[in-house]
Amino acid sequence: MTMKVWTKYISVIIASSVLLGGHAWAVELPPANELAGMNDSGVQLSRTRQYLEWQRTMQRISEGREASQVEDQRETTPEDTSKAVRFQLNDIIVDESDVLSGEEIQAVTAPYIGKEVSIQDLYTIVEQINELYSEKGYMTCRAYLAPQTIKGGVVHISVIEGKTGAVTVQGNNSTREDYIRNRVAIEEGKITNISDVNKDLLRFNATNDAQLRIAMKAGETYGTTDYVITAYEPQQQVFGLFSDNAGSETSGLYRGGMFWQDRSLTGVRDSLMMTSVFSEGTKSFGLSYSLPINRNGTKLGLNYSTNSVHITDGPLEDLDVKGHSYAYGISLTQPIMTTETVKSEIGLEYGYQNSKTDFMGMHWIDDTVKGWSLFFDQIDYGRTTIFYQKHAYRIGDYTDITDETQHFGKYYFNTLYQKVFPSGQMITARLDGQLSSTQYLPSAEQFYIGGMYSVRGYTESLLGGDSGVMGSVEYTVPLTSSKKTNAYIFLDGGRVWGESAYDDTLLVGTGFGIKTAIGDHMSINVGMGFPLIRTVNDEEQSRARVHFSFNSQF
């Protein structure tokens, strides 16, 4: 909020005291940024959305990479490689092909015409023709030497270009069969290009939570190949409970929440998710829906979230500070690369958010923020490593309580690197940041550091600014042979800057913790953080801070 707005409300309060008979009220007004951070309902809503988005990103990463190749279950027989017989080759007759051109076949056979050859040379010609089929991706097409009597030096090479027989889809309990068939290029009665099928398979598995495997076998009819498409689906409906102490000390440090998700609401892998988070003075609700709209993996996303905040502790408790925010958005994402080791996409998103805060019964904050975000993200899977990166640029405008409108622009990024060692030890490095071309961003658009999901050892969102960066390095060691319980140490750090930032802008914390899985459905993470910078903006920070989270999924 600008100084102009605060001057306006100071004047209102002074005037009110005069009108009330000259009685002087001993009310100490909060400074301009006292209501920012986690006291602001807009900030809390924005931070909650960021947290849930990061959890979904981690879920994408943890799903890992699955093998996505067509499995050939047909039997093969060895060829005769006799070299004893040699003869003059005058011509080669090859069956007409629907896949290979006459020029391609002639390029293989021409070097042997008019020369003395052996039976092995004929098999070499056959292998070269089959290599052409393989290069084009037609694995069900094969050239072969049928038993024959060679007369006049003329050899006949037969080809069989297997057409698709029966195509069976199985395991698709929550996915419509036509959704799968429309995204995998296998048509009955046609010659199937296995390379194209593998590309479809990689794209499907990279853009859907259900995974496909395809097996091919000899068809019941001679010269045909049957395909069996097997879908491996995750649990369709999921319910979960979670809790942590990542809330605000002024509106409820301890938070609880629940979520429900249907991963394939109408059978086309469209996901509906509802989330609720609450604390002593905070209530929030979120709804998101994602719908694949074509066979290339393009997705339409819709989301809505709302919250209410009531200050229940601290210096603002007696001032009846209440806030309410709501936000909605629409997005389109498009895959760019979907290989076994790289998955990347681009997206465009429009977002709208309105935040109101009342102070002693008067409107104190009324900010409306709307803007467009263009983003790119990519996951690279190595044999023992994972690297995730997201880059985005957001432009928009915001209107404050005085109806003044300003434009803003900012670039932000998230990166994560993980390296797993054979013993189960793991190094995780994370780097997030934001660079704004605008000063005095609205509080919901600022970059915040401090807390369980940022710089541990400090309270949540302790410092905010128009721009900032946060880095973390964590080393994890398994404590049990099952690797379900792990100990870790960490070093976090962050800095904010810009006109909206305080005088002190740097936080550094270190510490240790334990993560453990309870059965197959629950997990607990407890960490102890120690702030290495104890005095921040003239306020002494606690010597240590416990961070904990509980997650469950049923």
pLDDT in tens, 346-392: 999 999 999 999 988 888 889 999 999 999 999 999 999 999 999 99
Residue 282 has what pLDDT? Answer: 94
Q: How confident is the model at residue 300 (pLDDT cuts 50, 70, 90)?
A: very high
Global pTM exceeds 0.85: no
Q: Is 477 exposed, middle or buried (0-12, 13-18, 19+ CB in 10 A)?
A: middle
Amino acid at 326: Y
For the domain spanning 85-159, the CATH number is 3.10.20.310
User: What string of DSSP letters covers 458-520?
Assistant: S-TT-EEESEEEEEEEEEEEE-STTS-EEEEEEEEEEEEESTTS-S--EEEEEEEEEEEEETT
Question: What is the pLDDT at residue 70?
Answer: 57
What are the residue ranges spanned by the domains of the chain?
Answer: 36-64+234-551, 85-159, 161-230
* Helices (H), ranges, 20-68: 41-62
pLDDT (0 to 100) of residue 451: 95
| Whether the predicted pLDDT of 52 surpasses 80 | no
List, for residues 232-268, the tens digit of each pLDDT value: 999 999 999 999 999 988 899 999 999 999 999 999 9
Q: With bands split at pLDDT 50, 70 and 90, how would you rate the model's confidence at 85?
A: confident
pLDDT above 50 for 168: yes
Average pLDDT of the chain to the nearest whole number: 87
Amino acid at 62: S
CA distances from 406 to 80, 339, 399, 440, 531 (A): 80, 43, 7, 10, 37
Give the pLDDT of residue 71: 55
At 47, which amino acid appears?
Answer: R
Topology agreement, domain 85-159 and domain 161-230: yes
Above pLDDT 70, what percent of the chain? 88
**Residue 338 to residues 60, 74, 376, 461, 548: CA-CA distances in angstroms?**
14, 28, 14, 36, 36
How far is it, in rounded angstroms, from Cα 157 to Cα 108? 12
- State the fold for domain 36-64+234-551: Porin (2.40.160)
- Lowest average pLDDT, out of 38-52, 99-113, 397-411, goes to 38-52
pLDDT on residue 73: 52
Confidence of residue 339 (pLDDT cuts 50, 70, 90): confident
Class of domain 161-230: alpha beta
Q: What share of the chain has pLDDT > 90, as a percent?
A: 72
pLDDT at 77: 45
Predicted pLDDT of residue 11: 36
Residue type, 415: T
Confidence band of 316 (pLDDT split at 50, 70, 90): confident
Place of tokens 């994890």: 476
Residue 299 corresponds to which tokens in the numbers above? 């997705």
Q: From 262, 281, 234, select the one nearest 41 (Cα to Cα).
A: 281
